[in-house]
Amino acid sequence: MIGMDPLATVESAYRFLRGHTRGELLFDERVNRVRYVIAPAGRLAAPVSHAMLDAFDTVLFVPANADGAMEIQVTLSLLDPDGPEGGLTDRWRIYHGDPEEGAWALIDIDAARYAGSVIDGVALVRPNPLAAAESGLCRHINQNHSDDLGPVCQHFAAADVEHPILVGVDPLGFDIRRRFDIVRVQAAREMKDDRDVQEMFDQMSQEAHRDR
């Protein structure tokens, strides 16, 4: 990352965040593992404990509190499952299954430290322009191209997945669920619309089958 210009660093950081769905939350000198989803508007959402919500200072390490992690200063606010953001709890379950914690939180990114740079949180909170088409794209690929998902995971993410299910799509790639976690498959180029997504997936699946 040495020598990267500020804009390139921000873009790399955004791709890094988009490429993960797990982290460790530091709060009041305690650390808990969390699994999150990225909302269509770009904020994060996760099930949390009430102690996490009440903490004064909270830091999210992605994917873990270790060397090379992204360190994110965050603010947690209560997410009402019956409120306007309640659909995020269903999205989380599609990604991760049943939650262990009893409360839900929206997670706002205040700032992040990545690759030696400090990045304003505004630069990392971006709406997904494919959000309106996302569920239809996932349904189409799961119903008509389920046999291609495994080879795509193996070829492009070096991940073996027995029963892959596509659960998310954004311009940078695909989120594919396996038994215990999410496999992130980066697209070869940024995807602009639903037709672009289908063309990209077809190209990637053809390459994956050809090189097996």
Q: What percent of the chain has pLDDT over 90?
A: 90
Q: How far apart are CA 199 and CA 204, in angstroms?
A: 9
Residues whose CB is less than 8 angstroms from the CB of residue 210 and which lie 6 or more positions away in sequence, other chains included: none
pLDDT digits (tens, 9 = 90+) for 109-152: 999 999 999 999 999 999 999 999 999 999 999 999 999 999 99
Pick the CATH number of 6-124 from 2.30.110.10, 2.120.10.70, 3.30.43.10, 3.40.50.880: 2.30.110.10
Q: What is the CB neighbour count within 10 angstroms for residue 65?
A: 16
Mean pLDDT in residue range 74-92:
95
pLDDT at 207: 95
pLDDT digits (tens, 9 = 90+) for 13-36: 999 999 999 999 999 989 999 999
Helix (H, G, I), strand (E, B) or coil at 205: helix
At what angle are helices 131-144 and 194-210 packed, to 10 degrees? 40
* The CATH number of domain 131-210 is 3.20.180.10: yes
pLDDT level of residue 211 (50, 70, 90 thresholds): confident
pLDDT at 102: 85
Mapped to the 3 state alphabet, what secondary structure does 135-173 carry? HHHHHHHHHHCHHHHHHHHHHHHCCCCCCCEEEEEECCE
Domain boundaries, the chain: 6-124, 131-210
pLDDT level of residue 6 (50, 70, 90 thresholds): confident
Q: Inform me whether the pLDDT recorded for 90 exceeds 70.
A: yes
pLDDT at 1: 45
Q: What percent of the chain has pLDDT over 70?
A: 98
Q: How far apart are CA 159 and CA 174, in angstroms?
A: 13
pLDDT level of residue 4 (50, 70, 90 thresholds): low
Core vs surface per residue 134-154: b (16+ CB within 10 A) or e: beebbebbeeeeeebbbbbbb
pLDDT level of residue 180 (50, 70, 90 thresholds): confident
| Rounded (10°) CA dihedral 36, 172, 125, 49 | 0
Q: What is the CB neighbour count within 10 angstroms for residue 168?
A: 25
